Amino acid sequence: MVFPVPEAWAERAHMDAAGYEAAWKRVQADPEGFWKEVAGRLDWIKAPTKIKDVSYAKEDFHIRWFEDGVLNVSANCLDRHLPTRADDVAFIWEGDNPAQSRKITYREAHEEVCRMANVLKSRGVAKGDRVTIYLPMIPEAAYAMLACARIGAVHSVVFGGFSPDSLAGRIQDCDSRLVITADEGLRGGKVVPLMRNVAAALEDCPGVDTVLVVSRTGADVPMKAGRDIPYGPERAAAGVDCAPEPMNAEDPLFILYTSGSTGKPKGVLHTTGGYAVWASWTHELVFDYRPGEIYWCTADVGWVTGHSYIVYGPLANAATSVIFEGVPNYPTSSRFWEVIDKHQVEIFYTAPTALRALMREGEAPVQRTSRKSLRLLGSVGEPINPEAWLWYHRVVGEGRCPIVDTWWQTETGACLVSPLPGATALKPGSATKPLPGVYLQLVDAEGKVLDGATSGNLCITDSWPGQMRTVYGDHQRFFDTYFSTYPGKYFTGDGCRRDEDGYYWITGRVDDVINVSGHRMGTAEIESALVGHHDVAEAAVVGFPHDIKGQGIYAYVTLKADVQPTENLRKDLVLWVRQEIGPFAAPDAIQWAPGLPKTRSGKIMRRILRKVAENDLGNLGDTSTLADPAVVDDLVKNRIGR
C-alpha cells in the first residue's frame, strides 16, 4: 500500500521530490559545500571554515564538524528572533489539569532564560560545568536547558520517572555540583515526588552543593538548609540580561544518559554546532516547518526527542512549541485531541505506544473532537505497526495528513531516516528513506555488505553533523560500542529490511536493548536490579511482543536455595525494580527458573529465553550444546501463559 505525496504538500514543501534528488546529488558531489550551506541556517559569531573532519578508523578515531566555528545555541534559539518575532509565542504550556495553560512569547522566554542563567552563575556554575536537570514538563525545564547552553554549562536532563538510585548514578557519573528540580511533578492527576527523590539521591552524591527547587505544586517539601534553594526568590532577584557565552562548535552542549546492551547507562555527549545544525535542519525538513505554525511533540524533555524536537530544533526555527505536562488518557482518552483543538495544533508528533493505547479505546474519543487544524502527523521511538499507522492516518488525520515515521536514536542527535511530507510517498510501517547525506548500509552478522532488497543489520558508513561525539568520560567505550562490530562503520544496533523500492523498514533492536512503551532500556540494567534483591541468585531479562507497549519485560529469576517462590515475592520483585530503576521498568512477567540455559562455558543462551518468552516453541534451535539441556524443558513447561 502506497500513499502518494499530496499535491498541495509538493507545492508548499521546503523540499519536494526533485529537491530531495538534487540535495542527494549535491551532497555527494560537494559534501563540504553542502554542509557549509546547511550550517549557514544558524547565526555564527564566527562562521566555520573547516567543515568536516572525521575518521571512524581505530588508529585515528575522531569526529569533528564545523570545528573552527563559534556560536551560542541559546542565542540561536532566542536572541536572534527578538528583532522580528519577540511577540511570537515560543511555548504553549498545557498543564496536566486541562484548566491550566499559558503562552510564553520569545521575549518572555528570553528573559526567563537570562534570569535562570544569572542564577546559575551566581551559584558558581561556569562554562564546562555539568548541571543535572530533574524537572517535570513545565517551561522551566526548557529554560534550564537553554540557560545552561547560554553560559556554556553542560546539561544532563534526567527523566522525572527515574528513581533516586538512577538519578544518583547519573549525577555521579558526570559529577554535577548543581541540580535543578521541582517540589513535585503532576502527571495524570498523580503527584511525582521529585524533591523527595532528589533528597534521597543526594545521600550518595556528596559532590552536589546546590539544589534549585522550582515551585510547581507549592507542596511543603523538606529542604536542607544551605543546599536546597527555592528558585522563585532567586529568579525574582536575578537580572533579565545575560550575555551568551561564545562557544566553539565542538564544545559540549549536553549529556543524555541512554541504555546499551551492557553495563551502566552511557552518557551520550552532543556538542554545540553540529547538533544545533542537525536539530534545526531536520525539524524544518521533516515537519516542513515555517514560523508561526503550531507544533506539538508529546515526548518528555527527559528523552532525546524532547531535547531535539520540543526545545532545540523548534526554537532554532522560531517555532511555537507545545509543552504538555500530562498524559494521553487523563482526564479522558480524548485529551490529545482536545489539546489539538484548544491550541489549534497543525503538526503533531507522538509515539506508537500512545497510539496503540488510544486505539484500544475505539474511535469515539477521537471523533468527539474536531482536529481540523491538523495538517501533518509524526511518529517516533519504535517501529509503528501498519495497523496503528492506518488508524492514525484514517481516524486521527481523517486521511488528509501525511505521517512522517522518523527513525533515529539518542546517539544520532535527531532524525536520520524519515519521509519528507512534500517529497516521499508513504508506506505504512516504513520510515522510508534516509535524509540527504545519511549513508545507510545493511550488513550480515559477519559484516558482509548486502545489496538490493534484503534484511540485515543497519549501519551508517559516514558521519552527519548531529552524531554523538563521545561517551562522557569513556571515549574507548564510545568506539567499542559503535565502531568495533563492523570496522569503519557506525553500527546502530537495529535490524532493518530494505524493499525493492529502496524503502527502509526498521525491525527493532538486534542487541540486548529493549524498547518498552518507547522507553529504551538495557536488559542488563533490569537484571542487575533483580540480582540486587536479597532473595535472588540469578536473573535473565528479555523482551517479548506486547500489544500496547511494543515490547514487554520478561524476567527469568533463579531464587537462592532456601527461598520459596510465592506470589508475594513476585509482587515484591516487581516493586523492587520499580524502586531501583523507575516505574516504567517494572517486569510484565516473572518466571521462576530453577536454572538458566547456559553453554558449557557459562554463557546464557538468550536466544532460547527470547523464544520461550515469545511462545515461539517450534523454533528453539539447537539446545544440545547447553550444559544442561533439561533446563529448557522446565522453562517451556513453566512459561507464563499469554
Which residues would be at the binding site for ligand WTA (CB under 6 A)?
A: 258, 303-305, 379-383, 405-410, 431, 492-494, 506, 508-509, 515, 520
By beta-carbon proximity to ligand WTA, the closer residue of 424 and 558 is: 424
| C-alpha–C-alpha distance, residues 291 and 379, integer Å | 21
List, as own/partner pairs, every contact residues 56-61 make where C-beta atoms lie below 8 angstroms and the sequence separation is at least 24, other chains included. Answer: 56/463, 56/483, 56/487, 56/488, 56/489, 56/490, 57/487, 57/488, 58/479, 58/483, 58/484, 58/487, 61/479, 61/483
DSSP 243: P
Q: How far is CA 277 from the centre of its chain?
A: 18
3-state secondary structure of 103: strand
By beta-carbon proximity to ligand WTA, the closer residue of 211 and 304 is: 304
3-state secondary structure of 200: helix
Shortest Å, Cβ 404 to ligand WTA: 9
C-alpha triplet 269, 309, 24: angle, nearest 5°: 85
3-state secondary structure of 470: strand
By beta-carbon proximity to ligand WTA, the closer residue of 74 and 412 is: 412
Shortest Å, Cβ 303 to ligand WTA: 6
Whether 502 and 306 have beta carbons less than 8 Å apart is answered as: no
Whether 396 and 6 have beta carbons less than 8 Å apart is answered as: no
Is 188 a known ligand-binding residue?
yes
Is 196 a known ligand-binding residue?
no
Q: How far is CA 272 from the centre of its chain?
A: 18
By beta-carbon proximity to ligand WTA, the closer residue of 282 and 409 is: 409
By beta-carbon proximity to ligand WTA, the closer residue of 48 and 267 is: 267
Is 397 a known ligand-binding residue?
no
Is 443 a known ligand-binding residue?
no
Show the beta-strand stretches assigned E in 86-218.
Answer: 89-94, 101-105, 130-134, 154-157, 178-182, 185-187, 190-192, 210-214
3-state secondary structure of 461: coil
Is 96 a known ligand-binding residue?
no
Whether 214 and 180 have beta carbons less than 8 Å apart is answered as: yes
Is 523 a known ligand-binding residue?
no
Residue 514, H or E segment? strand 513-516
| C-alpha–C-alpha distance, residues 397 and 394, integer Å | 6
By beta-carbon proximity to ligand WTA, the closer residue of 351 and 596 is: 351
By beta-carbon proximity to ligand WTA, the closer residue of 460 and 540 is: 460
Shortest Å, Cβ 519 to ligand WTA: 8
C-alpha cell at 568: 508475594
Q: Which residues share a beta bridge with 347?
A: 295, 376
| C-alpha–C-alpha distance, residues 133 and 141, integer Å | 7
100 Cβ partners below 8 Å, 6+ apart? 94
By beta-carbon proximity to ligand WTA, the closer residue of 105 and 166 is: 166
Name which of 252, 271, 281 is nearest 37 in CA terms: 281
Shortest Å, Cβ 304 to ligand WTA: 5
Shortest Å, Cβ 467 to ligand WTA: 13
Name which of 113, 56, 389, 386 is nearest 243 in CA terms: 113
Is 218 a known ligand-binding residue?
no
3-state secondary structure of 111: helix
Is 494 a known ligand-binding residue?
yes
Is 578 a known ligand-binding residue?
yes
Shortest Å, Cβ 405 to ligand WTA: 5
By beta-carbon proximity to ligand WTA, the closer residue of 299 and 316 is: 299
Shortest Å, Cβ 384 to ligand WTA: 7
Is 333 a known ligand-binding residue?
no
Is 95 a known ligand-binding residue?
no
By beta-carbon proximity to ligand WTA, the closer residue of 110 and 549 is: 549
3-state secondary structure of 85: helix
By beta-carbon proximity to ligand WTA, the closer residue of 152 and 328 is: 328
Place of cell 523540499: 15
Name which of 154, 174, 155, 172 is nearest 164 in CA terms: 172
By beta-carbon proximity to ligand WTA, the closer residue of 353 and 591 is: 353
Shortest Å, Cβ 432 to ligand WTA: 10
Is 470 a known ligand-binding residue?
no
Is 190 a known ligand-binding residue?
yes
Torsion sign over Cα 470, 473, 475, 476: negative
Is 463 a known ligand-binding residue?
no
Shortest Å, Cβ 318 to ligand WTA: 23
Is 189 a known ligand-binding residue?
yes
Shortest Å, Cβ 507 to ligand WTA: 8
Q: Which residues line the annotated binding site? A: 187-190, 305, 329, 381-383, 405-410, 494, 509, 517, 520, 531, 533, 536, 578
Which residue ranges are tagged as binding site for CoA?
187-190, 305, 329, 517, 578
Binding residues for ATP: 381-383, 405-410, 494, 509, 520
